Amino acid sequence: MMNEELKKQLRNRRICVVIPTYNNDKTIKAVVEKCLLYCHDVIVVTDGCTDRTTDILHAIDGITIVSYPQNRGKGYALKMGFRRALEMGFSYAITLDGDGQHYPEDIPLFLKANQQHPQSLIIGSRQLEGVDRSKGSSFANKFSNFWFYVQTGRALPDTQTGYRLYPLHRLHGLSLLTSRYEAELELLVFASWHGVKLVPIPVQVYYPPRNERVSHFRPGKDFARISVLNTVLCFLAVVYGLPLRLWRTLMTFLRTAYSLLFFLFFTLVVFTPFVWIYTKVGKMTERRRYRLHQLIYHASRFVMIHHGIPGTKYEYKVAEGIDFNKPRIIICNHQSHLDLMCQLVFTPKIVFLTNAWVWNNPFYGSLIRNAEYLPVREGLDEIMPHLRSLIERGYSIAVYPEGTRSKDCRIGRFHQGAFYMAREFGLEILPMILYGPGKILPKTGWHLHKGKFFVEVDKPLTQEELSAMGDLKQQASTMRKHYKEKYEEIANRIEQ
């Protein structure tokens, strides 16, 4: 990734770099200048420096400096850096030390981890094999890892690293934060108690020769203070952290159970019997079939917009001038079983192409079969006459070009089927870009997470515009690229 593109992506996701420093005049210039190669937005906190550090920083253009006269410790410096970052509109802060221990070259790793795990606290786990460290440093890290596991029930390989990416809007306990080294452990513990996902990633580390190292750690005094802090945190873990975790687990279970029971009740007790009676009593005319589509449409709007899925919010954006009554081929990225509900809120005149197991589903199979949703088994040719009939009756055909749900919400390879249908029927393609379902109900998950559904209905593409892209393969490739760009844009906006 070129550095300018990296800088752009960091700024789009509102990620800055925060460097707390105390008397690092020999290394701070190189550290800051290297960071500026990767990130436009660098905040340096001078923690009451008494050497040339502050003068050196003022000679560097393009950085933000936070200064105060008295040394207050790393915890206080981090707090001041986070406060300034929030004032400047940032949502995330990558922290690294000013002594040259951390490599700014690893900043792209934090961006990638943030894109894969938004709103998570990313921890740079130092690769310490073969590194010349003192026995005291090695013991301190193992000691810290052990107490973190006791206090949270989670294991991390490196709880003492200062190379991290913090989600600034999800930091907890800042007002209680101690002022020195142990503050970084507190931030991890409080984040874990409040359900913030902790994601370790491997990073490089540099330890200079022993005679060149600058350390402000005071073994006796600081170790005693850390021991007292761990005692307090163990007590809080019992009276606060554990109950909070149990409450969060209970609420997740209740949210999932309620949604499942709601779904089962309406499919088995309401819709399935109603559809069976509706289709058996009287002839299934075009008017009666359209009323069935209206039922699905209003039910979807009730579930997604009016009632809502517990713990979620549904929003959408529609390009100006879209007429949903005009037949088109609708394409959408595929993330979850919830995708159909997200799309059905726009119009009753829509028919989905599904796979066979959905079409034969015991819960809602009867409903979608009577609504003329069609399974794609061997190919499109056998259903093309039926599709033509639906289009002539005013229905749009909805297709998932990826063919299957994405495991990680990334846009997969687009197949050519949707573009083939659009060409054969002379229809526009209407893109819908979907965000959220794969995070709320992941492909491999069994419970509902909190989150936001967002659907963006893009402007339709005419056959002339599609033909200008090239053949069907090129159309599919071009549209996949467009989807990746739009999805990244939406994700950057929502994942703040």
- pLDDT tens for residues 290-342? 999 999 999 999 999 999 999 999 999 999 999 999 999 999 999 998 999 99
- Distances from the Cα of 36 to the Cα of 7, 43, 474, angstroms: 9, 10, 38
User: Do 448 and 311 touch, CB atoms closer than 8 A?
Assistant: yes
pLDDT computed for residue 375 by the predictor: 85
Residue 257 and residue 316 share a domain: yes
- Distances from the Cα of 146 to the Cα of 22, 152, 242, angstroms: 28, 10, 17
- Average pLDDT, integer, range 58-86: 95
Q: Is 179 domain-assigned?
A: yes
Question: How many percent of the chain have pLDDT more than 90?
Answer: 70
Residue 40 and residue 114 share a domain: yes
Q: With H, G, I as helix, E, B as strand and everything else as coil, classify residue 315.
A: strand
Give the domain-ending residue among 200, 217, 234.
Answer: 217
For 124-182, the pLDDT digits (tens) are 999 877 666 656 567 777 888 999 999 999 999 999 899 999 999 999 887 777 666 67
pLDDT computed for residue 212 by the predictor: 54
Residue that wins the pLDDT comparison between 376 and 19: 19
Domain containing residue 170: CATH number: 3.90.550.10
For 341-371, the pLDDT digits (tens) are 999 999 999 999 987 777 777 777 777 788 8
Q: Is 190 domain-assigned?
A: yes
Q: In this model, does residue 424 exceed pLDDT 80?
A: yes
In the structure encoding, which two tokens stand for residue 259, read together? 């949604």
H/E stretch holding 456 reads strand 451-457
Residue 274 and residue 205 share a domain: no
pLDDT computed for residue 414 by the predictor: 97
For 473-490, the pLDDT digits (tens) are 999 999 999 999 999 999
Q: In this model, does residue 222 exceed pLDDT 70?
A: no
Residue 134 and residue 281 share a domain: no
Residue 304 and residue 165 share a domain: no
pLDDT computed for residue 133 by the predictor: 61
- Average pLDDT, integer, range 53-79: 95
Q: Which domain holds residue 162?
A: 3-217
Q: Is 223 domain-assigned?
A: no
Give the domain-ending residue among 171, 196, 217.
Answer: 217
Q: Is 226 domain-assigned?
A: no
Q: Is 247 domain-assigned?
A: no
Q: Is 245 domain-assigned?
A: no
- Residue in the structure block whose two tokens are 């990558």: 94
Q: Are strands 429-435 and 451-457 parallel, antiparallel or unpaired?
A: antiparallel
For 22-61, the pLDDT digits (tens) are 999 999 999 999 999 999 999 999 999 999 999 999 999 9
pLDDT computed for residue 66 by the predictor: 97
pLDDT computed for residue 312 by the predictor: 95
The whole-angstrom separation of Cα 300 and Cα 396 is 17
Which residues, in sequence order, are CB contacts of 257 under 8 Å at separation 6+? none
DSSP conformation letters of 389-404 = HHHHTT-EEEE-TT-S
Residue 389 and residue 325 share a domain: yes
What total of structural domains would you count in the chain? 2
- Average pLDDT, integer, range 196-224: 74
- Average pLDDT, integer, range 241-258: 93
User: Do 493 and 424 touch, CB atoms closer than 8 A?
Assistant: no
- Average pLDDT, integer, range 201-205: 95
For 96-117, the pLDDT digits (tens) are 999 999 999 999 999 999 999 9
Residue that wins the pLDDT comparison between 469 and 1: 469
Residue 176 and residue 258 share a domain: no
Domain containing residue 399: CATH number: 3.40.1130
The order of strands in the sheet holding 63-68 is: 63-68, 42-47, 15-21, 92-95, 164-167, 121-126, 198-203
The whole-angstrom separation of Cα 75 and Cα 70 is 14
Residue 437 and residue 374 share a domain: yes
User: Do 173 and 187 touch, CB atoms closer than 8 A?
Assistant: yes
The whole-angstrom separation of Cα 145 and Cα 157 is 7
pLDDT computed for residue 463 by the predictor: 97
Residue 69: pLDDT band with limits 50, 70, 90: very high
Residue that wins the pLDDT comparison between 255 and 281: 255
Residue 423 and residue 314 share a domain: yes
For 261-285, the pLDDT digits (tens) are 988 888 778 877 888 888 888 888 8
- Average pLDDT, integer, range 422-442: 96
Q: 229: closest CA among 200, 189, 170, 193?
A: 189
Residue 327 and residue 445 share a domain: yes
For the chain, the average pLDDT equals 90
Which residues, in sequence order, are CB contacts of 6 under 8 Å at separation 6+? 38, 39, 107, 108, 111
User: Do 467 and 422 touch, CB atoms closer than 8 A?
Assistant: no
Q: Is 236 domain-assigned?
A: no
Q: Is 457 domain-assigned?
A: yes
Residue 257 and residue 212 share a domain: no
In the structure encoding, which two tokens stand for residue 97, read together? 């030390």
pLDDT computed for residue 361 by the predictor: 74
Residue 212 and residue 77 share a domain: yes
The whole-angstrom separation of Cα 159 and Cα 140 is 10
User: Do 387 and 374 touch, CB atoms closer than 8 A?
Assistant: yes
The whole-angstrom separation of Cα 56 and Cα 411 is 46
Neighbouring C-beta atoms of residue 217, cutoff 10 Å? 12
Question: How many percent of the chain have pLDDT more than 70?
Answer: 93
**Which stretches of 263-404 are assigned E, i.e. beta strand?**
312-318, 329-332, 350-354, 374-375, 396-399
